[in-house]
Every structure is written in C-alpha cells, then in structure tokens.
Chain A
Amino acid sequence: MILVWIIALLMLGGILSLISGKWSHRAPRWISLAANTLAFLLVIRVWISNYARMSISEQHNWIIDLSWEWIPQFGIQFHLAMDGLSLLMVMLTLFLSIASILVSWTEITERVGFFHFNLMFIIAGIIGVFTALDLFLFYFFWEVMLIPMYFLIGIWGHENRIYASFKFFIFTQASGLLMFLSILALYFIHGQSSGEYTFDYMVLLGTTMSPAAARWIMAGFLIAFLVKLPAVPVHNWLPDAHTQAPTAGSVILAGLLLKTGAYGILRFVLPLFPDAAAEFAPVALLLGVISILYGAKLAYAQTDFRRLVAYTSVSHMGFVLLGSFAFNELALQGVIMQMISHGLSTGALFILAGLLQERIHTRDMTTMGGLWARVPRMGGIGMVFAMASLGLPGFGNFIAEFLILLGVYQSAVIWAILATLGLIASTIYSLHIIQRIFHGKPQKEWSLTDFNVREMCVMVSMVLLLLWIGIYPKPFLLTSRTSTFQIQKFLQPGMNYPDEYQSDKDIPPCGQNGSVPYSNTPSEQIDITLSKFPRQKTSLSFMETHGFRPDCYGKYGILFKQMQGETS
C-alpha cells in the first residue's frame, strides 16, 4: 500500500504545484519539495524496517507486494511490488529528485508550477517503472515518465531544445513501441500456450516459447532498454538531450532515466529470456566494451562541459551493460552499485555544470580555466566528483566498477581486460575536466559567486553518500543481494548452494587450507565434481589450468561453478 501512497503523493504534489503556480513562484517549489521529502522518508522507513530481514535471508522475497484488478477482461492488473533492487532504485530516485528540485530553485523562473508538475510526474513514473510487476502497467509508467520529460527539455531547455527534445522523444518512443509489441507478443504466446491471458510478470516468467520467438521478443525489450541505457550505437539522443535540458532534467536523465534501462535488463530481459540472453551475451559484452571505450573517447573530445559529462555517462553505463551479461553475483551486484554510484556522481557533475552555466551562461570549457582561485568550494566539489568518475577507490564508483570487472573477468577474460582499459580512458577525461575548468590560466574574467548553503547541502550530501557506498557498501550490497540471487536462479537453474556440496559423501575430504593441489587430484574426482553440475557447460580444461576444486572452497564454490559455467 505504501507504494501507492508514494506515487499518489507525488502525483498529488505535482497537481498542487500546477495549481499553486498560478499565484506564486515559491509555492510549487515548497510543495514539491515537501511531497518528495515525505516520500523519501517513507521509503527510508521501509528500508530500515525490512533491512534486518533482507540482510540475513538467502531467499528472494518481495518486501511489498500489492495487486489489484485493473482491467480483468484483458488480464491487466495494478501490480506493484518491491524487492531489494527496486528499493534501492526508489531511494535513489527520491534522493535525486530532492536534489533536482533544490538545484532548480533559482534556475527555473518561468511557468514554475508546470515545471514542478512535470518533474513530479516524471518521478512518479520512474518509481512506477521500478516497482511495476504487470507488464502493461510497466509500459504505462514508461510512458508516464517519458512525456513530461519531453516537455521539460522542450520548454525549459537551452538554445537548441526543440531539436534535442524531438530526438529524445523519437528515440525513446520508437524503442518503447518495440517493447510494447514484445509485451503483446509475450502476452499472446503465453495466452495461447497456457490459456491464461495475463500481463502479470510472475505468471509470464514461466512462459514456454520457441527459441526463435524468445529471441525476437527479447530483441524488442532489449532495444528499448539499450536505447535508454544508452549503449553505443543507439546513444545519440543522450548528448543532445543532456546539453539542452535544464539542470534538473539532466540530473533526472542521467541519474534515473538511464537506470530504468538497466533495471529493465535486470528485471525483465534476464529472467524472462535466460536462454536468449545467454545467446546474446557475447554481443552485449562487445557493445558494453565499445560503449565504455567509445564513450570515453568522445568525452575527451568535447569542449562543451555537459556534452562531455553526457558521454561519460555512455562510458559508465557500458559497465552496466557489460556486468549485466556476465551473469554472476559479483558482476550483478556491481551493476546495481554502478547504477547508484553513477546516478550520484554523474548527477552531481550535471548539477555542477548547471550551476556553472547559471552563473557564467556558457558551457564552453575553452572559455573557462583557472576557476579554482575564484570558487574553491566549487573546485573542491568538482575535483571530488571527477575523481569519483574516474573510479578512485573510496568512492562508490570504484566498488561498482571493480565488482563488475571482477565478475566479467570470470566469464569473459578478454572483454574484462578491454573494459579495464576504460579506467585509463576515464582518467584522461576526468582530469581533462579539472584542467579545463578549474586549473590553468583564466581565459576570461568571470565574475561568479561560490556555492551557497543550499547548493553546498545538495553537493555535500551527494559526496557523503558516494563515500558511504565506497567505504561501507555492505548495507547496499546486502539489500540487493537476494535480488541478484533471484536473477541468477533464472539464468542457472542448476545452481547449487554450498550446503548441497558438503552433504555429498562422494567427494573425498579437502586438503589443508581448503585446497587440494591439482597434481594430487585423480581425474575421477574431477569427473564426480563435474557430474554434479550437468546443466553447466563445465570445462575440464579450465579446471586443469586453474587447478582448484570448487567444493574445497566452501562458499567460494558457488562462484567457481559460475565461472566454470561461463568460461566454457
């Protein structure tokens, strides 16, 4: 029920903002801030009250599961549910929306009511996307977040806003329609095979379909999500939209809209089409690596600050794509961490760009330089986020990228190595930002003021959150852990848990330190070990080169098994 309250609260806040905007400029800001903060506190309460249960459970469960009839004739339900993954995403959404309301405080002076109306509906739509478990409802929310965003860019954007908003709308709408076709196809295939026509996610998970059908239907979903992500080569809407959008729009685009793509892959593509996804994995890894490197390269070439940051998003979201298709716990957890950290760090860089543009009315970095002396707070904050963006340990981005690369390395060594080169590339463009804007000689005598208290509050809270994820990410990892188990379960139905290992009497005891040198292990033993995972394409040569016994490592065994399943 609380989810409905949150969404209703946001929509109500939006409508009130619209109405009150007729009389006052301040009222919509306060109303939407209050609505958002209240919603945020509600979600935090949900997190705190469920944290203990989530952190110890090995089983996936939905914290909140709410299902009402909506259009029963077509099997459409109003089905909202939340697990660890959704919870983290909803928290990120509400946090960033508070930040974007605060940074728009003085930036937006025209049609304030309508602006906040749009903002609140985007947020409501995003929360809907993160919690909807009925595919029709999911598509509904997908559209709800799209159209206000179009207005946000088109009305409050910068000089080339019409072009950017059209490009954004056409890309996302066209791909969204493909997804809708896929949803319908899934609906009919499931209906024909089981006689039950429904859009319910839980029911559709069990759909049996031919591999060819799965491939095509997955393609529809995947294209929609890849466009949102965005992955090269469907990333082109992003730089334009980011450059032209108002600051709040950029923050929400980078911080949240992109995450809906990643969330879609995790929630829908992988569990609904595990086999097709496994087939597609090599291409996805390739696209991920290309996104990482190509995005970084383009980022370095830009002179427009926001365009640069937009391309870094492409690069960072490449890690998400890469990790999603590595199919193991490390990488999946990394992906979730990357979604949060990237939302914060890139969101913050866009805020920085926006606040800078508000002050000096340009985004062109060639006219900046040497700003540190004038605005040390801005410089310090900029430095922090540039470092976060290059993946400096201590920030959440490092945890995320490290886990992703570690996970990918276990399933695809070459791609992991190529993706690691992205770390060098990210260093180059991040330092480029600092050098061009804050260091060096001033190109022009700008008169600008440093961050005020309101702006400092926003930025510092983002820094603190990033540091928290970087230094003590455990609460976040534990929250999302069962969700990744759930995804893995669909990908590898044969996955065993450590307990099953130890109960097996066939395998001789392990040697000291939980390991047996390979030279001492007769090949039959390995055969026995292998016979336990018949569903996996376990490769004997892999074990030979590595010389380890999965069962001898206790809980490490799971990991090894995944590794075996995927490297072959």
Chain B
Amino acid sequence: MFGTIWIIPFLPLLSFLILAITGKRWSEKTVSILGVGSVGISALFTVLIGIQFLTNPPPGHFVVQTLWSWMEVGSLTPAIAFHLDALSLVFCFVVTFVGFIIHLYSSEFMEEDEGFSRFFAYMNLFVGSMLILVLADNLVLLYLGWEGVGLCSYLLIGFWYKDPQNGYAARKAFVVTRVGDTAMAIGLFLLFTSFGTLHIDTLLDAASQNWATGTTMAVLASALLLGGAVGKSAQLPLQTWLPDAMAGPTPVSALIHAATMVTAGVYLIARTNVIFMLAPATQLAVAIIGAATLLIAGFAALTQVDIKRVLAYSTISQIGYMFLALGVGAWSAAILHFMTHAFFKALLFLAAGVVILAMHHEHNMFKMGGLRKELPITFWTFLIGSASLAALPIVTAGFYSKDLILWYAWAGEQGNFWLWLAGFAGAFITAIYTFRMVFVTFYGKRKSEISHKPGKRMLIPLVILAVFSIIGGLVETPHTLGHIQLFSKMLENVLPSTGILHSGISEELILQIVTALLALLGIYLAYYLWLKKFSLVQKITQVKLLATSQRFFFSGWGFDWLYDRLFVFPAVWLARINRRDFIDLFYDGIADANRYFHQELRKTQSGQIRWYALGILIGALITLTIVVFI
C-alpha cells in the first residue's frame, strides 16, 4: 500500500491537467465528477494508507517513496520523493478529506458559473500542490508545493477576475506571501550552505549534531523559516492579505484560507522543529507572534460586519493559537488544533456560503437576520461550528485542542503566564465575536427574502463537518476527562513531546473550569449585547473614543494604512517618476551633444570658396609651423 503514496497528489494533478486543457468541452456534471472524484479517491487512498500506517507501522515510523531524482548539481541532489510519517499523514488526511467535502459542496455552489471547469481545475491544482507540500521529503520540493498553493490562492481569490477589486486582493495575497517566501528561500540557502543538503531528515540530523542550542546560525535559520511561515499563515506582520482574500468564492475561503493552505506555516515549523528547538529565541518569537496575532485579529473580528471577514480574522486568530502552541513547544497540540480548526472553520465558511447564497450574495451580517427558521440545517451546523470555535466545553472539538494549548502555555517548560493570559483573553474574545455572528445572522427579525435554498450537495458536507466538529477532539483528551492520548501517541515519533513544569489534576481542572466559564460568559455577553439590548451597542459606538477604536479595529489595526505608506506608495512613486529610465538621459545626452557639434561644425561649410581657401591657408600655415619649429 505504501507504494501508492504517489497516487495521492497525482490524482488531483491529473484531474487539473485534464480540466485545464479540455475543461471547456465537458458538461458541468462531467467536470464535477472529475474534480470531486479525483480528490475523493485521493482521500480514499489516504485513509487506506493511513490505516495501514497505524495498524502496521513501517520501520522507523516513516515511508519514503522516491519517484525520480530532480537535479544533481554538486551536493544539491533533491529528489521528487514523498515522505510519509504521522505528521504528513494528519495533514494529508485533512487536505484530502476536508478538500473532498468542500469540492462536493462547490459542485453545487458554483453551479452555472461560467468558469465552472476553471474553478475545479484550480481547486484540484491546489489540492495537488498542498499534498506535495506536506509529503515533500526535501525542502526544495516543499518549496515547490509552497509556491504552488500560493499560485492557486492567487488564482482563486481572483477567480471572478472581471472585478478589479478581486484582482487587487489576489495580487496582494500573492505578493505579501511572496515576501515571506523570500525569507524562507534565504533560509534554505543558509541551511544548504551550512549542511550541504536540503533533505529534511538529513538536515535536521546535521543541525542537531553541529549546532549548539542558541547558535547564531540556528537562530538565523529558524527566523528565516519563520518568515516564510508567517507569510503563508497570515501572522503578524504579514497578516494583511487574508481578510482581503475573502474576495474569492466561499468554498475557496473554506479550503484554502481557513482549513489548509494558511496552516502550511504551522506545518513548516512543526516539520523543522529541531531547528526551532535549537533556537529558543526564535521559538519565543513564534509564541509571541502567535499571542499578539490572536489578540489583534480577535479584536478586529469583533468589529467586522462582513460575515466572511469575521471568519477571516477568526482564522488568523486561531492560527495565532497554533503558533502559540508551537512557540511553547506543544507541537502535537498545535497539530491537533490545526485538525479541529480545519473541521469547524471549513464548516463555518461553508455554512456562511449557504447564507450568502440565500441572501443574494449579501455579505453584511446586519442586513441578514432571522435565518434560523429559513435555513434550519444550516443554522444548526453553523451553531455547532460556532460552539466549537468558541470552545464550548466537553461537547466540542475546539475545546479539547484549545484547552491543550492553554494548558501547555501555562504549564509547559517554555510557557509563561503572559502567553497563557493572551490565549485566555483570546478565548473570551473568540466567544464574543463568534456568537455575535450567530445572533446577528440567525436570530432577530428577517430582513430580506431567501433567494436560494441549499441542495443536498451543500447540506451533506455541512452535516459531515458538524459531526467532526463535535467528535474530532476526542482523539486527545485532558487528564480530567479520560486522558485519551491517541493523537500525541501517533505523533510522538515525529514531534518531540512537551516538557511540563507544573502538573496536577486540580490545577488543570481549575484552569479548564475558568476557561469554560469565560467562554460561556463571552457567549452570554454576545447574547446580551447583540440580541437583547442591541441599542446598547449603538449607544456604545456613539462614544467618541470607542468609535475611534472601533474604526481602528475595523481596519485591522491600520496595518494596511501603514504598509501602503511604507512600501506601496514609495514604490509606485518611484516607478512613476522614473518610467522613462533616467540612465537613458545619459545616452540621449551623448546623442544630443553629437547633434549639437554637428550643427556647429556644419556652419563652417558655408559654400563660399574664399572661406575654404582661407581654411586651406590657415591649415597650411599651422602645418608649416609644426614642421619648421617643432
């Protein structure tokens, strides 16, 4: 079975090729069968390989399948080779499984769009690239997948290309992530220069043997990799592209900008964990970036009116949690949160897609309302997703993963009080903005008619994801709740375990109860403010200071404003003033000087023979003088 790993990324890529070349000829049905089916079969293969991997683990707990040698230049010998271990298995599973569900949903969502086959071609290309990313056994191949998903993200954000605004958002996403990618590329150069290889396992071995903890090189290398991760995962300071990325079709937001691609940064850091552990400074930076991002994005989510932008900021915030976990060394907790987040965030986006479709493509939550009765299944699944996002205790998947992260932030060796506090406060804000969204959208008065009722292909994905949003967390439960450790056991061969400073069931229990209460308080607050006493909110926003800060949060803390002034405007200005290339002036100057002398010398050719004779005389005299006297 392990010999068939290559099929997992190959099928979506094949389907992409077919659709890209001949897509126009097929009917929507054929296209959906191809597009959805290829990902579905990939998911099937992943599950089969996964079962074999878990029941009958290969020696060393990883499998490598080398397809061909990519290039051989000096010591650079990367291969097109796939490396399957528990970590890539988890990612593969989420990518193919959630990907399949979202593809299924899209086959109805995108119906009668003129770019139907183009959409599925791009989506398949994305799944293929993402699978290459998580299966790559060397950093060059990983970089290939990394850029490939960036490309698909660009293509899909700008999918409705006729609106220049979408094109702008797409380019912004590509360019901003490319800034991070550049840092990552430099990181690869540094690693290669140090160890002469980019094969991940060899590299990590060499690093752990040759670099002492805290070496400058380790800090530099990890910081550069972090640069790439930050760009892709929309963390501070490169988070600005993600909210704008919501210009793409909603399934795209669900798959790429929530469930999978944006977590590539998490994958990268987890994959190269050795280098990060050798550089405690960088690891602390990861935790701080995570903590800061989750708060900043949480506040921003609190003020948005566009339902997709709320979800976008919430994604940034949740990835902040994952970064926090990575930073405090809670590796498997980060991956667990990645998985549960993929379930519930994909669910929320898909449900939001149903709502948006039902409301004539209206994104503003405050123009919705009262949809509870109209779209019951959507409402219930959305509620489950929200509960999971807000980490409602015990019954939701989000609770288990987030709780684990908070616990390690508190008790882990690298955790500290402030990091925990940030995560704790973030949990409160999360609960508020999530249920603000629920109450505003689904409760209250109905404000407009429903234009489109979701069909089966849209509802089944919602239900499946809702189930996973509830049970997805049961693979790993805390000491207080049964202490199941399936997930961390599975990952223990790939990711180091987390050192614990404090322990004790009571301490853990207290923290859990406090967090749970806080989440419930947040939900109540959302209920009180946006459902019961909405007038209060309106009154609050009248206060000048609060209104200003609301505007500030609404704009995503003014990062766009700042970057426009720091980078975009100067670059555009520079381009504008030097459009004609000032170096050309130099050559034009030479040409002009020649022309000038030509004009001047021309005047001597007066055509009057006497002047020529005089010229001859003077010339003869000068020659004579030179000959005679010198």
Contact = CB atoms under 8 A, between A and B. Distances in A.
A touching B, CB within 8 angstroms: yes
Interface of A: 167, 232-233, 235-236, 239, 297-298, 300-302, 328-330, 333-334, 370, 372-373, 376, 380, 383, 387, 392-394, 398-399, 402-403, 405-406, 409-410, 416-417, 420-421, 423-424, 427-428, 431-432, 435, 438-441, 471-474, 477-478, 481, 512-513, 515, 517-519, 545-548, 553, 555-556, 558-560, 563
A217 B504 CA distance: 79
B382 to A, nearest CB: 33
A399 B140 CA distance: 10
B212 to A, nearest CB: 8
Contacts of A560: 196
A427 B178 contact: yes
B162 A440 contact: yes
A253 to B, nearest CB: 18
A176 B181 CA distance: 41
B182 interface: yes
Interface in B550-607: 571, 574-576, 578-579, 581, 583-584, 586-587
Given A232-B583, A427-B175, A477-B72, A556 B161 contact: no
Which of A334, A402, A546 has the largest count of B CB atoms less than 10 A from its CB? A402
Interface stretch (B96-104, B142-150, B313-321, B330-338): B142-150
A440 B164 contact: yes
Contacts of B148: 392-394
B179 A424 contact: yes
Nearest to B177: A427
Interface of B: 20, 24, 68-76, 80, 114, 140, 143-144, 146-148, 151, 154-155, 158, 161-164, 167, 170-171, 174-175, 178-179, 181-182, 185-186, 188-190, 192-197, 202, 205-206, 209-212, 216-217, 571, 574-576, 578-579, 581, 583-584, 586-587
Nearest to A431: B171
Contacts of A420: 182, 185-186, 189
B289 to A, nearest CB: 21
Given A405-B189, A513-B206, A392 B151 contact: yes
B179 A474 contact: no
B217 A546 contact: yes
9 contacts: A298-B578, A301-B575, A392-B147, A393-B147, A393-B148, A420-B185, A439-B161, A474-B71, A560-B196
Nearest to A429: B575
Contacts of A409: 186, 189-190, 192-193
B68 A239 contact: no
A301 B76 contact: no
A273 to B, nearest CB: 24
Given A403-B73, A409-B193, A423-B185, A435 B167 contact: yes
Given A406-B192, A420-B182, 4 more contacts: A233-B583, A403-B71, A439-B161, A548-B194
Nearest to A440: B164
B197 A556 contact: yes
Nearest to A328: B74
Nearest to A426: B178
Which of B76, B148, B181, B205 has the largest count of A CB atoms less than 10 A from its CB? B76
B73 A333 contact: yes
Contacts of A435: 164, 167, 171
Contacts of A236: 581, 583-584, 587
A417 B161 CA distance: 34
Nearest to A298: B581
B584 A393 contact: no
Nearest to B146: A393
The 3 closest A-B pairs by CB, nearest first: A393-B144, A301-B575, A556-B196
Contact of A372 (B71, B161, B192, B209): B161
Contacts of A518: 210
A431 B175 contact: yes
Contacts of B162: 370, 373, 439-441
Contact of A545 (B24, B192, B217): B217
A548 B164 contact: no
Nearest to A369: B164
Contacts of B73: 329-330, 333-334, 403, 477, 481
B39 to A, nearest CB: 20
Contacts of A432: 171
A93 to B, nearest CB: 23
Contact of B140 (A402, A431, A440, A478): A402
Given A239-B581, A394-B144, A409-B193, A515 B206 contact: yes
B161 A559 contact: no
